[in-house]
Amino acid sequence: MISSPLVFGREEDDEFFVRACALSGVQVARRIDEDDMTVDGLLPPCLRGEAEAVDEEVAAADGAAARSAGRTGRSTRAPAELGQEYLQAANKRRRLQPVAETPAAPAEQVFRRPAARNARGRHVDGPRLQRAEAEVRPMQACDGPETLTSRVAFARIVRDGMDKELLHLRASMQSLMKQQPMKRFKNRVPVKVVNNKSGKGKHQASKEYGTYKNQTVGTREFAHKHMSDSVVDILDTDSGKAYKELVDFGFIHVPDVCPDCKHPVGGPVPFKSCPGKLYFRCRSYQCGKRFNVTDFSVFRGIRLSLVALCRVITFCSRCNVLKAPLVSDAQAQLRISRKPVEHAFNALLAEEAKAGERHNKVKHRLSGELEADGHGLRKLYVSPHNQHFSAEIEDAITRYRKANPGKKLPSYWKAHLRVVGVKKRMAKAGYRSGKGVFQVLPFKLVPPAASPPVESKKEIQDSKVLDQIVKATDTRVRLYSDGAPAWPSLCDVKGIKNFQVKHNKFEFVKRLPGMKKPASVVLAGTQVIDRWWQAMDAFIPPQIHNKKGKGGPVNDRLKTYAHAWVWRYHLPVGIDFKTELGKIC
């Protein structure tokens, strides 16, 4: 006897199987007659056998179902469980005449889809089940002979799909373990690393520019990653420990005498009305004044406790050296109000700018491969009535009327904050790159549509950047510049070999024979100093305004940031930045 539990072994599957295969006996008999099939073709292999034996078993088990089907034309059981009359008609070429009237088409029923299981008894659901159902759906016709085995086919498709996925996954893991590409990637051409330079040329290029080599010198790649210990890392710190750390690093200086009466001072001692702060006190009976310890530092007048001040300095020293620390970041992380943090940052920035100015004024005796170039840091829009640019406006009007006689003057002028500098390509071990100096050029106003003015011969001479270069008779010197016409004439006066590239003609590099033997190849151009200017632009925060209000002068903080960056850039890689800050304070 055919029953779905024999195939699937679940009662809910049996219910679904019976409802899905509830076909009329007449339709089954008619289909068998048209296709010239036997009942054995509709039965599962486990129940196939002699036709007479099957007839007897089915007739004995489902005689009532056959009588019900004869009366109503539709059975409530599966077609394989029909009565003796329909099975005999199927085996003996339809001896039973079909009912004349055609039964009405049954209403479309919504069947509950049972959870399919794989060979291991696990549930199979999701996209794989949907694809399998789509393949089985054409086989589930209302009168098709495959209806009896539709669930068997469905289970077989699901099992075959899972087997294929398992095989694909196993093959993928094996190819991964063997470091071999999968089958679908075998026909792809692998990416081949092409090195146009030889090993010698690559070493020479690295030696000439030296940025990567100099960054990886030492145990740490960048200086800002080297952090010294601080008392603020301890939870139970107090003002005494913070004072000792600030004195040790050099941020606070201990006075010898009183600033007013010149008598010795004592302390530091706390003051009840000002917790968290320490004071020096004059030992003179007549004076007896108290002085905050921060009065003898660059943080004079700051409204912070010593612990909070130590936290701000530590935060600044642990930031990236080549990026300016932001007040908002320190304020959010340290949970301190904005004004004291800004006060401390401005004090440190001013000392860094002073150190940068001293660096630009010292003669460094640059030699070897050098680059020279001018650069515009910011662009300003100047009104004709701006009193702070009165001299520059008169000069611009004179030049404009001479070049454009009879033409109306522009409604405003454009000014560029320009700098000019000289930089060495190579650097000593432990430094980021070669030494470089720069000077700020005076303003030269141009019309709104004009290009930025190039550095002139007089401006370069007044900046004295070429005085940083040693005499040509002392050692070999090469100066690479862009298309500004002032550099070749000045180099001829000083006896320096100059090689130019013209950016306006899209010439950025030029191959030249090297100065050392065996002959090497170098590239003429301003690549190194251009990257230098680019890093300087990134160091200046974009929040800094170009002018001090509408109609005001140029913001001096732009120059302050530029000089501070030069001092930071020339610090050795891997050095403690907090120690260097204490030395200049």
SS (H, E, C) 84-104: HHHHHHHHCCCCCCCCCCCCC
Q: Strand, coil or helix: what is 372?
A: strand
Kindly tell me if the per-residue pLDDT of 191 is higher than 90: no
Does residue 254 contact residue 295 with C-beta atoms inside 8 Å? no
Give the best-scoring range by mean pLDDT among 41-50, 90-99, 433-442: 433-442
Kindly tell me if the per-residue pLDDT of 121 is higher than 50: yes
Q: How far is CA 497 from the centre of its chain?
A: 43
pLDDT for the residue 585: 87
Kindly tell me if the per-residue pLDDT of 324 is higher than 60: yes
pLDDT for the residue 441: 94
Q: What pLDDT, in 10s, does the model give residues 264-280?
A: 898 888 887 888 899 99
Question: Which pair of structure tokens corresponds to residue 102?
Answer: 């055609």
pLDDT for the residue 180: 54
User: Is the bond preceding 410 in cis, omega lying within 30 degrees of 0?
Assistant: no
Kindly tell me if the per-residue pLDDT of 100 is higher than 70: no
Q: What pLDDT, in 10s, does the model give residues 509-544?
A: 887 776 665 555 678 888 889 999 999 999 999 989
Kindly tell me if the per-residue pLDDT of 447 is higher than 70: yes
Does residue 14 contact residue 74 with C-beta atoms inside 8 Å? no
Whole-angstrom CA distances from 418 to 374, 445, 503, 558, 562 are 7, 11, 18, 11, 11
Give the mean pLDDT of 64-74: 50
CA distance 197 to 200: 8
Question: Which pair of structure tokens corresponds to residue 508?
Answer: 């950025």
The DSSP secondary structure of 306-361, one letter per residue, reads HHHHHHHHHHHHTS-TTSPPPHHHHHHHHT--HHHHHHHHHHHHHHHHHHHHHHHH
pLDDT for the residue 333: 87
Share the mean pLDDT of the chain: 73
Measure the N-to-C terminal CA separation of the chain; round to a whole number of Å.
Answer: 101
pLDDT for the residue 285: 85
Provide the pLDDT confidence category of residue 5 given band limits of 50, 70 and 90: very low
pLDDT for the residue 132: 60
**Cα torsion at 541, 547, 549, 550 (round to 10°)?**
-130
Q: Is the dihedral of CA 474, 478, 483, 488 positive or negative?
A: positive
Q: Which pairing describes strands 413-424 and 368-382: parallel, antiparallel, or unpaired?
A: antiparallel
Whole-angstrom CA distances from 380 to 300, 448, 551 are 34, 10, 11
pLDDT for the residue 118: 57
Provide the pLDDT confidence category of residue 239 given band limits of 50, 70 and 90: confident
Q: What pLDDT, in 10s, does the model give residues 194-210?
A: 444 455 544 544 444 33
Which residue carries 């940083």 as its tokens?
Answer: 468
Looking at the DSSP bridge assignments, the partners of residue 366 are: 469
- Measured CA angle at 481 (ends 477, 487), to 5 deg: 85
Residues in the chain: 585
Provide the pLDDT confidence category of residue 283 given band limits of 50, 70 and 90: confident
Kindly tell me if the per-residue pLDDT of 415 is higher than 90: yes
Return the exposure string of 267-296: e unless at least 16 CB atoms fall within 10 Å of the residue's CB, then b.
bbeeeeeeeebbbbbbebeeeeebbbbbbb
Q: Is the dihedral of CA 169, 175, 181, 184 positive or negative?
A: negative
What is the CB neighbour count within 10 angstroms for residue 347? Answer: 19
Q: What pLDDT, in 10s, does the model give residues 448-490?
A: 989 889 999 999 999 999 989 887 666 688 899 988 889 999 9
Q: What pLDDT, in 10s, does the model give residues 135-151?
A: 656 655 444 444 444 55
Q: What's the number of CA atoms in the CB half-sphere (13 Å) around residue 59?
A: 12
Does residue 468 contact residue 435 with C-beta atoms inside 8 Å? no
Provide the pLDDT confidence category of residue 110 given band limits of 50, 70 and 90: very low
Q: What pLDDT, in 10s, does the model give residues 171-184?
A: 666 665 565 555 55
Question: Which pair of structure tokens corresponds to residue 182?
Answer: 């999968």
Who contacts 422 (Cβ-Cβ below 8 Å, separation ≥6)?
A: 366, 370, 371, 372, 436, 437, 438, 465, 466, 468, 469, 479, 529
**Pairwise pLDDT comparison (578 vs 16), residue with the higher score:** 578
**Alpha helices, DSSP H, located in 362-485:** 390-403, 457-463
**Which H helix or E strand runs over 275?**
strand 274-282
Does residue 447 contact residue 423 with C-beta atoms inside 8 Å? no
CA distance 443 to 419: 10
Does residue 350 contact residue 561 with C-beta atoms inside 8 Å? no
pLDDT for the residue 437: 94
Q: How far is CA 306 from the centre of its chain?
A: 37
